[in-house]
């Protein structure tokens, strides 16, 4: 069972609709006590880093989610949900993320902000997440900040927007994607299926 975390800052219903289309059992989890019902977690995210951390803490999600992550259980962070895997963000320097990956988030400077629309990825390190996908496949992005991992081994794919930045991260069974696979057509659905069946 896939648990889609509701902390007040995510595109929950589009994510649930995508998994339902793939015929994968999922539920929106509003209570940390219900994590016992799921074997995989998706953390979607829309909005600011600091606000998300505040809501996660206010709703008593921070400790259970960090415990899940430190145990290396299956996890997919989408957009802001990926950024929250890291330590800090220039967007909200006083707020600390889950810090399961070392690094921070920076704001785009070279191009129009936010980046909105379709862009491609360049696979840097193979992962089962990419089965049936390839470099130059396009996905849908909406974001102003991007992650800067301290350990380049965490970068699984990059995207060019004025300069190259990390758009997919992975470590063991923990993954994050900067784009929105639930809004990325067949390629996004393939990635979500891979995450459930192969990762």
Active site residues: 79, 180, 182
DSSP summary character for residue 188? H
Contacts by 26-31 with C-beta closer than 8 Å and gap 24+?
26/1, 26/2, 27/1, 27/2, 27/3, 28/3, 28/4, 29/3, 29/4, 29/5, 30/6
94: left (phi > 0), else alpha (psi -120 to 50), else beta?
A: alpha
Distance (Å, whole) CA 62 – CA 64: 6
Distance (Å, whole) CA 101 – CA 95: 15
Distance (Å, whole) CA 78 – CA 68: 16
């Amino acid at each position: 069972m896939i648990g889609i975390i509701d902390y007040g800052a995510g595109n929950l219903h589009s994510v649930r609709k995508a998994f339902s289309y793939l015929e994968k059992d999922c539920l929106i989890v509003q209570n940390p006590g219900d994590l016992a019902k799921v074997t995989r977690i998706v953390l979607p995210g829309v909005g600011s880093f600091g606000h998300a951390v505040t809501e996660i803490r206010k709703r008593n999600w921070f400790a259970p989610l960090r415990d899940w992550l430190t145990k290396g259980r299956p996890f997919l962070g989408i957009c802001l949900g990926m950024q929250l895997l890291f330590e800090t963000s220039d967007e909200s320097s006083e707020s600390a993320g889950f810090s399961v990956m070392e690094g921070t988030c920076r704001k785009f400077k070279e191009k129009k902000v936010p980046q909105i629309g379709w862009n491609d990825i360049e696979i840097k390190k193979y992962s089962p997440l990419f089965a049936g996908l390839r470099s130059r496949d396009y996905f849908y992005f909406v974001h102003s900040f991007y992650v800067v991992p301290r350990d380049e081994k965490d970068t699984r794919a990059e995207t060019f927007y004025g300069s190259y930045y990390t758009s997919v991260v992975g470590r063991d069974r923990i993954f994050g994607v900067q784009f929105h696979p639930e809004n990325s057509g067949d390629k996004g659905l393939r990635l979500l299926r891979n995450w459930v069946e192969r990762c």
